[in-house]
Structure 1
Amino acid sequence: MEAEAAKYIGAGIACIALAGAGLGIGNIFGNYLAGALRNPAAAQGQFPNLLLGFALAEATGLFGLVVAMMLLFVV
């Protein structure tokens, strides 16, 4: 019984990574938009960096989701 509760608590804690990923992605796109509005000529040059930052932030959230699912269904 206690092990079942521990699984759910661990999965919930692992899902905090999803909130962090959401905040990170919002921060990345918000700062890109602010910079693009200040200097539209440089916006296209920074677009690959935007996509790289988005991919890394999203990967962090996906890893947290995978850990949560493994805690729930594998362990």
Structure 2
Amino acid sequence: MDHLAQAASVAYDLKNAFSKTSSKSPSSGLVGRNLKFTSVLELAKETCFVHRVPLPQWWMSLLPLVSELSDVED
């Protein structure tokens, strides 16, 4: 079996396993430079579902820097 078929088989098995545990299933994403698995329950604590944005808005502290670097006058 070639590598592509093996990867597809593993992906199908993981999808099948995680679909049975939806509230406990992990979500993967990059945190810094590391791949981190986070449970859906933890993600729900950090999400504003009304506005569909994350609660810790880390990029807000970058706005003064962006305005300094851009040549736009207020």
TM-score by length of 2: 0.30
Would you tell me which structure has more strand in proportion to its own residues? 2
* Structure number, greater radius of gyration: 2
**Bigger relative contact order (CA 8 A; separation at least 6):** 1
TM-score by length of 1: 0.29
Would you tell me which structure has more helix in proportion to its own residues? 1
